């Protein structure tokens, strides 16, 4: 019950903009405004669901591949508690030692790469906050950090670790995110013409890039933030984001022109000019 209600509440506008395929069966998903009345008590009652929703938000804003924010057998180099830091006007604080008061003052969050496969070692991705109560990169990471700190998690604990009510832990995986996305998609897909089978956790990465592109962020910046080695992804997104329905009328307007002819010199003038001047 909580799963369908909260997933729809946070992700109700997830599917609006992009309907073209990316990475096989994945689609680029734009994560837009969550409804302001999103209820926190049900999320707190379901630790796994709370973790899944936070990791969906993190994957979208930080343009992350599976394996960085959820558990993956193939490419598992997740961000850990010790890889997170927060910044305020008073300084920068590591997630393992930051106090609740210090965290409340922070306006930036940093995720540091500790492996070289998905980014340069020691490089960090930084995000500021926004005015959303839930759909925020800073707030979603802060909630993961608070969850781990409340359970005295070791510094090496991945952010995708969830402490359940029975005292056990569970690692959030890609299929958890995909199932949550599907639960929301089924409620709103009809009006948008989207096939829920085409939606997966992998699409969050492309969806974040699409959001930046539509916000007029420079291509090079998007490529750097997403750590793409080629321009293929951005070329795809440009094709998807380009609105062509107005082109027909614009081509009628732009296609009406006169080709100006350059004045010709009289024949006697041309014959009198030096050869090397022609």
Q: Give the confidence band of 45 by pLDDT, cuts at 50, 70, 90.
A: very low
In a domain, 275, yes or no: no
pLDDT in tens, 110-146: 999 876 554 566 788 999 999 888 889 999 999 999 9
In a domain, 22, yes or no: yes
Tokens of 175: 């299929």
Q: Is the pLDDT of residue 33 over 80?
A: no
Tokens of 167: 């005292």
In the prediction, which pLDDT does 112 show? 93
Q: Is the pLDDT of residue 229 over 80?
A: no
What is the CB neighbour count within 10 angstroms for residue 157?
19
- Average pLDDT, integer, range 20-36: 39
In a domain, 205, yes or no: yes
pLDDT in tens, 168-223: 999 999 999 888 887 777 766 565 556 777 778 888 888 888 888 878 888 888 88
Q: Give the confidence band of 151 by pLDDT, cuts at 50, 70, 90.
A: very high
pTM of the shown model: 0.74
Backbone angles phi, psi at 27, to 5 degrees: -120, 150
Least confident of 24-33, 101-110, 114-123: 24-33
d(CA 29, CA 14): 6
- To the nearest 10 degrees (0 to 180), the angle between helices 232-241 and 203-214 is 60
* Whole-number average pLDDT of the chain: 75
Q: Are strands 169-171 and 161-163 parallel, antiparallel or unpaired?
A: antiparallel
- Check if the beta carbon of residue 31 is closer than 8 Å to that of residue 121: no
d(CA 73, CA 88): 36
In a domain, 251, yes or no: no
In the prediction, which pLDDT does 238 show? 59
- Check if the beta carbon of residue 137 is closer than 8 Å to that of residue 120: no
Q: Is the pLDDT of residue 257 over 60?
A: yes
In a domain, 190, yes or no: yes
What is the CB neighbour count within 10 angstroms for residue 210?
26
d(CA 41, CA 26): 32
In a domain, 266, yes or no: no
In the prediction, which pLDDT does 237 show? 61
- Check if the beta carbon of residue 81 is closer than 8 Å to that of residue 156: yes
- Average pLDDT, integer, range 11-22: 40
Least confident of 11-20, 31-40, 137-146, 221-230: 31-40
Backbone angles phi, psi at 124, to 5 degrees: -125, 150
In a domain, 24, yes or no: yes
**CATH number assigned to the domain comprising residue 137:** 1.10.443.10
In a domain, 54, yes or no: yes
d(CA 266, CA 140): 77
In the prediction, which pLDDT does 25 show? 37
Tokens of 179: 């199932």
In the prediction, which pLDDT does 206 show? 80
The total domain count for the chain is 1
Range of the domain at 142: 2-241
pLDDT cut 90: percent of the chain above it: 31
Count, residues in the chain: 278
d(CA 159, CA 231): 30
d(CA 209, CA 64): 10
- Check if the beta carbon of residue 206 is closer than 8 Å to that of residue 23: yes
pLDDT in tens, 57-101: 999 899 888 888 999 877 678 999 999 999 999 999 999 999 999
Question: How deeply is 14 buried, as exposed, middle or buried, from its count of CB atoms within 10 A (0-12, 13-18, 19+)?
Answer: buried
């Amino acid at each position: 019950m909580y799963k369908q209600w909260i997933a729809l509440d946070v992700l109700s506008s997830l599917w609006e903009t992009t309907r073209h395929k990316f990475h096989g069966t994945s689609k680029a998903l734009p994560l837009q405004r969550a409804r302001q009345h999103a209820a926190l008590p049900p999320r707190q009652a379901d630790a796994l669901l709370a973790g899944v929703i936070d990791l969906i938000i993190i994957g979208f804003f930080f343009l992350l591949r599976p394996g960085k924010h959820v558990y993956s057998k193939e490419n598992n180099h997740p961000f850990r508690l010790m890889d997170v830091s927060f910044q305020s006007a008073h300084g920068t604080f590591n997630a393992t030692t930051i106090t609740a008061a210090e965290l409340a003052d922070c306006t930036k969050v940093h995720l540091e790469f500790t492996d070289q496969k998905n980014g340069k070692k020691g490089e960090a991705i930084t995000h500021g906050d926004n005015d959303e109560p839930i759909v925020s990169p800073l707030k979603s990471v802060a909630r993961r950090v608070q969850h781990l700190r409340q359970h005295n998690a070791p510094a090496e604990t991945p952010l995708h670790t969830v402490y359940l009510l029975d005292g056990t832990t569970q690692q959030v995986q890609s299929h958890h995110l995909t199932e949550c996305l599907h639960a929301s998609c089924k409620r709103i897909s009809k009006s948008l013409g989207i096939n829920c089978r085409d939606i997966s956790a992998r699409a969050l990465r492309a969806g974040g890039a699409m959001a930046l592109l539509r916000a007029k962020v420079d291509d090079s910046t998007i490529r750097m933030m997403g750590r793409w080695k080629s321009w293929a992804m951005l070329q795809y997104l440009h094709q998807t984001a380009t609105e062509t329905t107005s082109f027909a009328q614009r081509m009628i307007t732009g296609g009406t022109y006169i080709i100006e002819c350059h004045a010709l010199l009289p024949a006697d003038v041309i014959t009198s000019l030096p050869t090397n001047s022609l």
